Structure 1
């Protein structure tokens, strides 16, 4: 079974970002560990023809983006959907697309917010250091992450998060009420809990924290709040490891990514956040460990369970990811947020069943093995064939329709036609038929939950 699914996508993400940025010259930064000041390298101009004012991390205009308020209240959140990702491409290869992140969507909101927050708390209390951890040298970075998350949520969702005590972060701290969960979070100084605990009570994303070690100039993972890794990834086994060690099993890492990763980390600027999405197929909607990445120890009847599952229960687990640098500590923050979309609900979206079938049969061999596509493709292929024929019968595609990435990639084709679309407000999924109740934990047969879930 595979171990570093989220970090696989993380590596691919970084490789492409470096490719896109290879013609820009930026200064490297030095980041000292906890309790030490951040020191910048000699700053350079991006280009002689278009110089920009300097900043701490490379050349910069010094403008870190801030979100635009989205005025939705707690009742409206219950019916609100995040952007409908469809990150399916053909040809399918290792350098998957990455996009500049609109900061409004760094920490998105949707109708499953309460469910994710509840699951985070349950997993943290039940599994502890398997999914949550922080080294002493990562404390300052985690505090800055906590402050950044709080500021973002209050600015982006002013009706969902209320400041009850607005003290200075450096001396007094703040008290905040989460209007969706009803919980009051006391972040006055000194902190009464680890900063990652507060982060996990506010945002539904997983968080990885990476810092440069001033002794060797290399980057190490120093903290993580990762309740939803999907596979058998344990934070306690990765803390303190260099990124090369963390990515040991990642396809193409040694060949294509290793040399460029450290360079990219050094050049990344706080005002240049990015996002992307990866995906795989499974037949459940478990957040901590998907069925397809279970081990024989915990799921001895997996093949039988797979065989007995109706193909209409299969779904795509999209790992929506972002990457940004914090300005004070220089910590690099990687977020990951799993979202489930059933194949059944995408059946009438032009070319989607065709692309899925093409990928699981003809994608790169290493990726087919890493994402366990080989395990599910025999089960899924007849079902996908039915959906492909359905699209032909409906006139959505023909035998001559080119099989290729769809124009609205990486989102669903109907986004451009949605009357609720706004540049700053994301998308609401159309119609009552777009319902993902199957995702909720309480809808599952508890007897099928493995010991490690």
Structure 2
């Protein structure tokens, strides 16, 4: 057994043997943090009580519009996005979608600059492996560019400034975060997706229905942050079945319903979802856990302390463009350390349960078996810690949290405050949790 792991595990065990007085005193600091968690039987889920942005007349072709958030570039530097916790039990493979509040289509957070800089590095180094398009993808990409531009100008009026509106000839916009002037005057000097990536930190997939067979195909994509082995050059022009061929249980559970669902999607009703996996680094293009050599992954996994592990949440949205009827799929990866979630009720228990008892196809797809034995002792220590602190007990049912897919401390109606979402846990240090500098160091080995 790895000596570093033995030492860390020993320290965790030793930490459990606190005096009763120490445990009691520490527990008091959590009183206000957890007082409402188990006090209700049927709390509203975020998507049930969320403020709606949808048109009252029910016109399916009218996209919802965002409300302004008056946040400045300086405030963004310390701004946390919604805290995702997409952990559920029982763990089944489903689309797991729910209505998107359009205010959160293109979210903002303190990692914005890192994402934009990393996009530029990836375009220069990898090119068509991460961005590509077909001729038929140009018009929907142009419509997407216009929609992203208009959305950001309205949602973040202090972050994006309209310098010149030339009507049908395009717009000139200043990105106040990067200080870049983005000239989208027609004819464009670059592909529309290149302008989109200079403003939004998300990955974008453009999917169109082929009138010949009535099926949906990937016609354009700017995906610098797939996380795993997803290469655009191998997927462009392919049908959804080919794109999802590696997704476990897709053919058994999702294939038949996905085409029908894409057909029914309307511009007025965008949706969102989130998936996740675990890793020890913060690389956006490809995390270490998805290297091809599984033996190398196992060795690298053991070289990191279990406390260094984090959850990579893939926050995704789906919406349909009103003119071209193209479907836009976005993805925005966010990392959350296990340490910052260790005092959130049931989170360590859910992680421990899922990495060992999820369906076998999911375990292999997310590479749980390559590192789970390395971090299991750490998770067991956190579970016992929650019991010692009175956060949970032996009779607490292991199930999907009532506030899924978000942290239990988030208000269901998502107040739009300029300060972002602040984790109130005594174990959370907002400044320390910023992994930007660490992520830059990790790129040396890219």
The TM tier, using the shorter chain, reads 0.7 to 0.9
Q: 1:424: how far off?
A: 7.4
Q: How far apart, in 2, do the equivalents of 1:62 and 1:134 lie?
A: 26
Q: Which residue of 2 aligns with 1:177?
A: 174
Q: How far apart, in 1, do the equivalents of 2:388 and 2:120 lie?
A: 47
Q: How far apart, in 2, do the equivalents of 1:116 and 1:367 lie?
A: 28
After superposition, give the CA deviation of every residue in 1:40-97 in whole Å (9 maximum; x if it has no partner). Answer: xxxxxxxxxxxx97xxxxx835432100000001111101110000000011111253
Q: Which residue of 1 aligns with 2:281?
A: 284
Local SS of the residue matching 1:415: coil
Unaligned stretches of 5+ residues in structure 2: 1-55
Q: Which residue of 2 aligns with 1:218?
A: 215
Q: How far apart, in 1, do the equivalents of 2:70 and 2:338 lie?
A: 32
Q: 1:135: how far off?
A: 0.5
In the superposition, relative to structure 1, how do residues 446 and 241 fare at CA in structure 2: closer, same or farther (>3 Å)?
Answer: closer
In the superposition, relative to structure 1, how do residues 241 and 424 fare at CA in structure 2: closer, same or farther (>3 Å)?
Answer: farther
Asked if the contact 1:340–1:439 (Cα under 8 Å) also holds between the matched residues in 2, the reply is no
Q: 1:134: how far off?
A: 0.8
| 1:262 correspondence with 2:255 | no
Q: 1:214: how far off?
A: 1.6
Pick which of 207-216 and 331-340 moved more: 207-216
Q: 1:250: how far off?
A: 1.8
From 239, 246, 259, the counterpart of 2:236: 239
Superposition pairs for residues 30-429 of structure 1, below 5 Å?
A: 60-95=59-94, 97-168=96-167, 171-296=168-293, 301-416=296-411, 422=415, 427-429=420-422
Q: How far apart, in 2, do the equivalents of 1:128 and 1:63 lie?
A: 35
Asked if the contact 2:95–2:254 (Cα under 8 Å) also holds between the matched residues in 1, the reply is no
Q: 1:430: how far off?
A: 3.2
In the superposition, relative to structure 1, how do residues 355 and 442 fare at CA in structure 2: closer, same or farther (>3 Å)?
Answer: closer
In the superposition, relative to structure 1, how do residues 154 and 207 fare at CA in structure 2: closer, same or farther (>3 Å)?
Answer: same
Q: 1:426: how far off?
A: 8.9
Q: Which residue of 1 aligns with 2:26?
A: none
Q: How far apart, in 2, do the equivalents of 1:86 and 1:360 lie?
A: 15
Q: How far apart, in 1, do the equivalents of 2:297 and 2:88 lie?
A: 29
In the superposition, relative to structure 1, how do residues 185 and 445 fare at CA in structure 2: closer, same or farther (>3 Å)?
Answer: closer
Q: How far apart, in 2, do the equivalents of 1:76 and 1:326 lie?
A: 31
Q: How far apart, in 2, do the equivalents of 1:255 and 1:122 lie?
A: 38
Q: How far apart, in 1, do the equivalents of 2:190 and 2:132 lie?
A: 13
In the superposition, relative to structure 1, how do residues 152 and 334 fare at CA in structure 2: closer, same or farther (>3 Å)?
Answer: same
Q: TM-score, normalised on structure 2?
A: 0.83
Local SS of the residue matching 2:217: strand
- RMSD between aligned residues: 2.0
After superposition, give the CA deviation of every residue in 1:366-420 in whole Å (9 maximum; x if it has no partner). Answer: 11111111112101100000000110111101111111111211111111399xx
Asked if the contact 2:71–2:156 (Cα under 8 Å) also holds between the matched residues in 1, the reply is yes
Q: How far apart, in 2, do the equivalents of 1:394 and 1:404 lie?
A: 20
After superposition, give the CA deviation of every residue in 1:201-259 in whole Å (9 maximum; x if it has no partner). Answer: 10110000000112222111000000000011110111111111212222112212222
Pick which of 116-125 and 430-439 moved more: 430-439
Asked if the contact 1:208–1:221 (Cα under 8 Å) also holds between the matched residues in 2, the reply is yes
After superposition, give the CA deviation of every residue in 1:7-36 in whole Å (9 maximum; x if it has no partner). Answer: xxxxxxxxxxxxxxxxxxxxxxxxxxxxxx
Local SS of the residue matching 1:334: strand
Larger RCO of the pair (alpha carbons < 8 Å, separation 6+): 2
After superposition, give the CA deviation of every residue in 1:152-173 in whole Å (9 maximum; x if it has no partner). Answer: 00000000000111121xx311
In the superposition, relative to structure 1, how do residues 234 and 258 fare at CA in structure 2: closer, same or farther (>3 Å)?
Answer: same
Local SS of the residue matching 1:85: coil
Q: How far apart, in 2, do the equivalents of 1:156 and 1:336 lie?
A: 19
Local SS of the residue matching 1:133: strand
In the superposition, relative to structure 1, how do residues 443 and 146 fare at CA in structure 2: closer, same or farther (>3 Å)?
Answer: closer
Local SS of the residue matching 1:224: strand
Asked if the contact 2:227–2:284 (Cα under 8 Å) also holds between the matched residues in 1, the reply is yes
Asked if the contact 2:312–2:335 (Cα under 8 Å) also holds between the matched residues in 1, the reply is yes
Q: How far apart, in 2, do the equivalents of 1:417 and 1:334 lie?
A: 25
Q: TM-score, normalised on structure 1?
A: 0.82
Q: How far apart, in 2, do the equivalents of 1:73 and 1:318 lie?
A: 26
Count of matched residue positions in the alignment of Structure 1 and Structure 2:
387
